[in-house]
């Protein structure tokens, strides 16, 4: 069975994260929905400036900057989120400065299918950061037996060292594996 995520288009995205959280709470019948920040960041390829703490708070002046490398892939980063009980979506704010023909992919690891599921892609943006939100209807397949979820952002083709991805914020929308 193939899983197809519910990708929210830019026209559907409210302008603030609070609006988005309110929309998601309504859609999921007022279940508790938390913003779960990544615990670890692994740069598999690319040249990073910053760390996982730079993408845990929105609009705080701190960002993670990944410069592409000339090889393939241009960059590849993984983020792990721990103690995840439910995943209802992903929200992020990022800016890709590169070629309009280059593609940056965000994927979530599917522990049932044992492969990354592409969710959304970013293209070159000359003006500003973009908010992106992806809602997921089925969440268990994206959580390991150890309650870990993993997101990957990559530039699969060869990169150019003058191109960068600047990430301000990444969070899962869901609940932690704790009792409230």
Written as one string, the DSSP assignment of 21-42 is: HHHHHHHTTT---EEE--SEEE
DSSP H or E stretch at residue 19: helix 17-27
How far, in Å, CA of 140 to CA of 62, rounded? 32
pTM of the model as a whole: 0.79
Taking residues 39-62, report their average pLDDT. Answer: 91
Q: How far is CA 20 from CA 14, 17, 135, in A?
A: 6, 5, 11
Taking residues 85-112, report their average pLDDT. Answer: 88
The CATH label, of 3.30.230.10, 2.60.120.260, 3.40.50.300, 1.20.1070.10, for the domain at 6-176 is 2.60.120.260
Structure-token pair, residue 160: 């150019």
pLDDT at residue number 29:
56
pLDDT at residue number 102:
82
How far, in Å, CA of 37 to CA of 82, rounded? 9
Contact of 79 with 50, CB cutoff 8 Å: no
Taking residues 53-68, report their average pLDDT. Answer: 90
pLDDT at residue number 99:
81
pLDDT at residue number 13:
44
Share of the chain above pLDDT 70, in %: 78
pLDDT, tens digit, 9 for 90 and up, residues 108-159: 999 999 999 988 777 666 567 777 788 887 778 999 999 999 999 999 888 8
DSSP 115: E
pLDDT at residue number 58:
84
Domains of the chain, by residue range, sit at 6-176
Taking residues 6-16, report their average pLDDT. Answer: 48
């Amino acid at each position: 069975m193939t899983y197809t995520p519910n990708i929210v288009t830019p026209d559907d995205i409210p302008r603030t994260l609070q609006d988005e959280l309110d929309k998601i709470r309504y859609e999921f019948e007022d279940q508790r929905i938390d913003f779960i920040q990544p615990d670890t960041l692994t740069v598999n390829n690319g040249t990073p400036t910053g760390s996982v703490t730079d993408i845990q708070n929105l609009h705080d002046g701190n960002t993670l900057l990944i410069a592409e490398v000339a090889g393939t892939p241009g960059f590849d980063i993984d983020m792990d989120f721990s103690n995840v009980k439910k995943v209802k979506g992903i929200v992020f704010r990022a800016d890709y400065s590169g070629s309009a023909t280059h593609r940056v992919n965000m994927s979530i690891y599917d522990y049932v299918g044992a492969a990354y599921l592409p969710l959304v892609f970013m293209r070159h943006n000359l003006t500003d950061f973009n908010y992106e939100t992806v809602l997921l209807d089925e969440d268990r397949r994206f959580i390991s037996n150890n309650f870990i979820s993993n997101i990957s952002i990559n530039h699969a083709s060869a990169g150019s060292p003058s191109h960068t991805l600047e990430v301000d914020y990444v969070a899962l929308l869901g609940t932690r594996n704790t009792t409230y």
